[in-house]
Chains A and B, each alone.
Chain A
Amino acid sequence: MKSLDKHWKYEDYQLEDFLADEFFVEWIKNPNDNNKHFWEKWLAEHPEKRKTVLLAGDMLRRFNYKNAPELSDKSYLDIFEKVIRESPQVVITTSQPKKSFRRWLFSFRQIAAIIILGFTGWLIFELSKTKIEEEKPKEFFSEMVKRNAAPGTKLTFILEDGSKIFLNAGSELEFPKTFEEGVRKVKLKGEAYFEITEDTKRPFIVNTGQLEVKVLGTSFNVKESQNGELSIALVSGKVQINDQKGNQLMLDPKEMMVFNAEGEFFKAGFDPLEMTGWKDKILVFSSDSIEEVENKIENWYGVQLDVKGNFPDNWAYSGVYNDEMLENVLRGISLSSSHIDFTLSGKKASITYQ
């Protein structure tokens, strides 16, 4: 056959040569810019080969599996779940307590989500200093500005120093119009993603009420959950964290620290999409309970979602939505089980399990 010999050109090809040619088969089966460009041009140049080429394409397209069963959704999910349960997530970190860790290992989609925080003793020191300073020259302080992202909305804005802030729905950031000299200080309620402009002379401090995070220039996500859990996920740069008990922790990129309401903390890796996807309008559910799903949807879309019927205790939902309409999200969830239905009208939605 001619294609065994590399010196043959396509114009000399017969039907069987085309059938055996990788590049030709690729064009037919997986057309892409590269092979389309070549073959369309080549066909235009060689109209006499058109019939042979079309026949070869037609023939090879017709070879199919006679026996091509499809994996059922149920089996697909069973396999997925067993694989996840049998083989724990690889953990890159060292210092988390076993107890809280086990929970992650066995969570269904286990893209660990939480993060880190704390503050440096050095930071506390720094803080106490700032506090004193703060109290003295109050009238010299720049006017404070509050930005609120109502449920259903997200805000992105740039601070005076060039730092970029993504404020998630239902969150609030308070900051001075102009930062004072030695420190850039903001107050956060809820969740925000920070891209801090580097300024070694003015550390950037995020105060969440229970904790403070101090950085010089870095990107990270701070999230305060309703259950009192606080997480800090570091995307780039470096953060040093000391808690009140004197533990000192370093956070490296791709690590996060989670503080629970009792002040216990652990470190874990995190999935950037899950932690910071919201700033790019990506809504992520990761093995979320119906309550978590409800909270996320109400906050994300600024709607009221009524949960009806009895969702089983072990019900959990995972899914990723990129800038989708609420209806599509609800439909996605309802498609995950034949028991789930939804309704949507205006700012009111309901989801029912029966």
Chain B
Amino acid sequence: MNNRPNQEPEKSYALYRHQETVKLFESKSDPEIWSAFNQGDEMAFNYLFRIYTPLLFRYGCQFRVEEALVEDSIQNLFIYLRKKRGDLSQVSSIKAYLFKSLQRELFKHLKSDKNRVAIEEDDPLINFQLELSAESSIIENELNQEIQEKLKHSIESLTSRQRQAILLFYEEGMSYKDIAEVMDFNEVKSARKLIYRAIATLKACMDQQGKK
């Protein structure tokens, strides 16, 4: 699944505007881009930085840590990767790899900070807050409003791991394989099950509300 984001021209990142590097790489596969980066290709680094930094930042902030810590972690991650060039192993999904690495970096900092109350990786209340966007869509469905109301109530019954999986799947456009990597599952099957369970929970909640 190609989960690289479509370009959003309204983004104002100074370096984001110059799209030629992006054009050079956007048709290439993740392993090709990664291997170019590993071989010291600065354009490949530029591409990775431009595409993934904003996404990493948004993802890192889902753990409800200070934004500055997320920024530092992104910085450390890229410094580490650039230093390791030539020695990096193959990566099949760059996004999953980077997300996972950022997560590790974040938790490393959190653990080393003794003044901080430990934040659980799976904090049911705060991590990965999910929201239903209100924007109206292509659907010409009179049930729309009703379904939306039900959905809103239903998402409250999801665990934070389920919310994380749902967001990775729908918002980040990741495959089950990517999700398994990011969430440290040994098997893709586990990611699939997590999503199924989340959807089943949503459905059950909605059905129940429907009966009322």
Contacts and interface: CB of A to CB of B under 8 A. Distances in A.
Interface of A: 1, 4, 15-16, 19-20, 22, 25-26, 29-30, 32, 51, 54-55, 57-71, 73, 75-80, 82-83, 86-87, 89-92, 109-111, 269, 271, 273, 282, 318-322, 332, 335-336
Given A83-B75, A110-B42, A22 B1 contact: yes
A30 B6 contact: yes
Contact of B78 (A20, A57, A78, A83): A83
Nearest to B163: A63
Contact of B144 (A58, A64, A282): A58
Nearest to B71: A75
Contacts of B12: 73, 335
B75 A82 contact: yes
Given A66-B129, A90-B85, A30 B3 contact: yes
Interface residues of B, number: 69
Nearest to A87: B82
Interface string B154-195: 010000000000110111010110000000000000001001
Given A20-B195, A25-B173, A69-B61, A62 B132 contact: yes
Contacts of B119: none
A64 B148 CA distance: 13
Contacts of A79: 53, 71, 74-75, 78
Given A19-B199, A22-B176, A65-B58, A59 B17 contact: no
Nearest to A75: B71
Contacts of A319: 17-18
A92 to B, nearest CB: 7
A64 B132 contact: yes
A65 B171 contact: yes
Contacts of B20: 273, 282, 320-322
Nearest to B140: A54
Interface of B: 1-4, 6, 12-15, 17-18, 20-21, 23-24, 39-40, 42-43, 49, 53-54, 57-58, 61-62, 64, 67, 71, 74-75, 78-79, 82-83, 85-86, 128-133, 135, 137-141, 143-144, 147-148, 151, 155, 166-167, 169-171, 173, 175-176, 192, 195-196, 199-200, 203
A51 B141 contact: yes
A63 B54 contact: no
Given A63-B166, A73-B13, A111-B42, A26 B83 contact: no
A57 B138 contact: yes
Contacts of A63: 130-132, 155, 166-167, 170-171
A324 to B, nearest CB: 10
A335 B74 CA distance: 25
Per DSSP, chain B at the interface is helix
Nearest to A79: B75
B196 A20 contact: yes
A90 B130 contact: no
B1 A89 contact: no
A25 B1 CA distance: 10
A152 B187 CA distance: 59
5 contacts: A54-B140, A66-B131, A67-B64, A82-B75, A273-B20
B154 to A, nearest CB: 11
Contacts of B78: 79, 83, 87
B17 A80 contact: no
A76 B166 CA distance: 27
B1 A30 contact: yes
Contacts of A55: 139, 141, 143, 147
A40 to B, nearest CB: 13
Contact of B17 (A1, A29, A68, A335): A335
Contacts of B23: 322
Given A30-B1, A62-B132, A70 B79 contact: no
Given A58-B141, A63-B130, A63-B132, A16 B18 contact: no
Contact of B131 (A64, A86, A87, A92): A64
Interface centre among B131, B135, B148 (most CB of A within 10 A): B131
Given A1-B200, A61-B133, 14 more contacts: A22-B175, A29-B170, A30-B1, A30-B6, A55-B139, A59-B147, A61-B137, A62-B137, A64-B133, A71-B13, A71-B53, A76-B53, A90-B85, A335-B14
